[in-house]
Amino acid sequence: MTAILRFAPSPTGRLHIGNLRTALFNWLFAVREAGSFILRFDDTDRDRSKREFADLIATDLAWIGISPHKTIRQSERIALYDAAAEKLKAAGLLYPCYETPDELDRKRKRLAARGLPPVYGREALKLSKDERTALEAEGRKPHWRFLLPNFGADPFAPQRTDIVFDDLIRGETTIDLASLSDPVLIREDGSYLYTLPSVVDDAEMGVTHVIRGDDHVTNTAVQAAIFKALGAAVPRFGHHNLLTTVGGEGLSKRSGALSLETLREEGYEPMAVASLAVLVGMSGSIEPMADLETLGGRLDFAAVSPSASKFDPAELDRLNREIVHGLPYAAVEGRLAAMGVGEPEGETFWLAVRGNCDRVPEAKGWAEIVFGDIAVPAPEDEAEAAFRTTALRLLPEGDVGLQTFKEWTSAIKAETGAKGKALFLPLRRAFTGLDHGPELGPLLPLIGRERLAARLAAPR
């Protein structure tokens, strides 16, 4: 059986790193099984879903390296959901309800006051045809609930009905259907909540595995019942732990916090983000993976922690730094060109500065120092001023090459007796304006004779 997986975001905002965890669990599993991966936009909520978010979500996934085999939109498949809803209605499994949100709230409060769980009592199921007609004549529109199979002969006497499934990640999981309210599948305005369309699509597309966050465990019991009611095979479900901020708050698509867009704009590498999204909250070390294939080799459902995991930006910085320090020129050529750094010095420049960049955009600062005009700091004292004069006099003749620094510093050392920090720091300050930075030797040919001389002679 070919594995068919899907990632099903609602296009109500940008993806965050927690959504990416779900996307990658599905993508890496699909790739490993030589299966297929469907991107499905759950956009039946007409008020909150936006086409532009769907497009941006696809862009975010492409940045990570996820290229769906197929993309579908629920808003274009309403006829399928209507057909399924009709089937359920005909079987008496989807019934109209007329309570307003306020009335439902009062019902829940009455139950709570009696120490009972806030489970819907199926009062609407008792309505006669005439009562329904009267309510509709009042202007009420029905919402529709699915009758959960949690009773014997009498729907008003629910009995414990355990749905047991072998969760791909959590292992055996049990949900008692009697502990749940009949879920609303269709709103008053006729639009579908995600529950039924998801089942219809999963069935229609032959989805074999559904991997999603553990906030959906209860939905799984409900949806398993709907699959059965529609006569469809129930896919294998897996629920992974969720990511929270360091402060323990949930991530939200609408808040934009830790969105892939922000991370990309801040200059993080996709593999740093992907490695962390998958490996956090999983036993084993969190290391930057070279590519998605290698990351897929680390995907181990048995190693996923049962509790929520904190996403720590410092960890992302560490992974990113490790990746950037080893990035070949080819991986950054376009980005450097956009900063105005290209051939013939591009590669030498990158290899000289990458060890000092936590993120690629930081190369721009080094490019300004190497190729631009810098404000050379005034010498701290007479000795430093004299040192610069001596250094300028001893600048070796001819082109500045990779050997120049060694030759030059030997000459300065021989004349002034300066060594170690006393030799290198004043040069660094004069050449770069800073007290720290990349090795000077490889930078000198890039800065070039003219700028080196001008910086040593800069007005004090």
Q: What is the 3-state secondary structure (H, E, C) of 193-217?
A: CCHHHHHHHHHHHCCCEEEEEHHHH
If the CB atoms of residues 8 and 370 are measured against ligand GLU, the closer one turns out to be 8
If the CB atoms of residues 25 and 95 are measured against ligand GLU, the closer one turns out to be 25
Q: How far apart are CA 344 and CA 120, in angstroms?
A: 72
The continuous run of DSSP H or E covering 172 comes out as: strand 171-176
If the CB atoms of residues 28 and 210 are measured against ligand GLU, the closer one turns out to be 210
Q: Which long-range contacts (CB under 8 A, 24 or more apart) does 286-289 make?
A: 286/315, 286/319, 287/319, 287/322, 288/319, 288/320, 288/322, 288/323
If the CB atoms of residues 42 and 182 are measured against ligand GLU, the closer one turns out to be 42
| Tokens representing residue 220 in the block | 């799984």
As a residue count, the chain comes to: 460
Residue owning tokens 């250094």: 391
Respond yes or no on whether the N-terminal peptide bond of residue 344 is cis (omega within 30° of 0).
yes
If the CB atoms of residues 40 and 145 are measured against ligand GLU, the closer one turns out to be 40
Closest to 55 (Cα-Cα) out of 44, 69, 71, 70? 71
**Nearest-approach distance from CB 194 to ligand GLU, in angstroms:** 5
Angle at 311 between CA 326 and CA 36, to 5 degrees: 75
Q: How far apart are CA 267 and CA 288, in angstroms?
A: 16
Query: What 8-state DSSP symbol labels residue 73?
Result: E
**Nearest-approach distance from CB 317 to ligand GLU, in angstroms:** 28
Select the residue interacting with ligand GLU from 107, 216, 364, 449 (CB under 6 A).
216
- Asked if residue 150 binds ligand GLU (CB under 6 A), the reply is no
Select the residue interacting with ligand GLU from 4, 5, 8, 339 (CB under 6 A).
8
If the CB atoms of residues 38 and 276 are measured against ligand GLU, the closer one turns out to be 38
If the CB atoms of residues 48 and 393 are measured against ligand GLU, the closer one turns out to be 48
**Nearest-approach distance from CB 1 to ligand GLU, in angstroms:** 20
Question: How are the residues of the chain apportioned to helix, strand and coil, as percentages rounded to the nearest 5?
Answer: 50, 15, 35
Select the residue interacting with ligand GLU from 9, 68, 96, 437 (CB under 6 A).
9
What is the number of the residue whose Cβ is closest to ligand GLU? 42
**Nearest-approach distance from CB 8 to ligand GLU, in angstroms:** 4
**Nearest-approach distance from CB 201 to ligand GLU, in angstroms:** 9
Stretch that binds ligand GLU, among 3-11, 129-137, 172-180, 362-370 (CB under 6 A): 3-11
Q: Looking at this protein, which amino acid is placed at residue 90?
A: A
Where would I find the beta strands (DSSP E) of 254-315? 309-310
- Asked if residue 409 binds ligand GLU (CB under 6 A), the reply is no
- Asked if residue 212 binds ligand GLU (CB under 6 A), the reply is yes
If the CB atoms of residues 145 and 209 are measured against ligand GLU, the closer one turns out to be 209
Stretch that binds ligand GLU, among 7-15, 54-62, 95-103, 401-409 (CB under 6 A): 7-15
What are φ and ψ of residue 282, in 5° steps? -135, 140
**Nearest-approach distance from CB 193 to ligand GLU, in angstroms:** 10
The continuous run of DSSP H or E covering 62 comes out as: helix 51-64
If the CB atoms of residues 42 and 167 are measured against ligand GLU, the closer one turns out to be 42
The continuous run of DSSP H or E covering 145 comes out as: strand 143-146
**Nearest-approach distance from CB 181 to ligand GLU, in angstroms:** 19
Query: Which 182-211 positions form the footprint of ligand GLU (CB under 6 A)?
Result: 194, 198, 210
What are φ and ψ of residue 30, in 5° steps? -60, -45
Interface mask (CB under 6 A) for ligand GLU, residues 230-259, using x and -? Answer: ------------------------------
If the CB atoms of residues 84 and 97 are measured against ligand GLU, the closer one turns out to be 84
Interface mask (CB under 6 A) for ligand GLU, residues 32-61, using x and -? Answer: ----------x-------------------
| Tokens representing residue 72 in the block | 């579908």
**Nearest-approach distance from CB 223 to ligand GLU, in angstroms:** 8
If the CB atoms of residues 10 and 309 are measured against ligand GLU, the closer one turns out to be 10
Neighbours of 359 (CB within 10 A): 16
Q: How many residues bind ligand GLU, per CB under 6 A?
A: 9
Select the residue interacting with ligand GLU from 3, 5, 10, 161 (CB under 6 A).
10
Q: How far apart are CA 365 and CA 374, in angstroms?
A: 11
| Tokens representing residue 246 in the block | 């360091």
Positions in the binding site for ligand GLU (CB under 6 A): 8-10, 42, 194, 198, 210, 212, 216
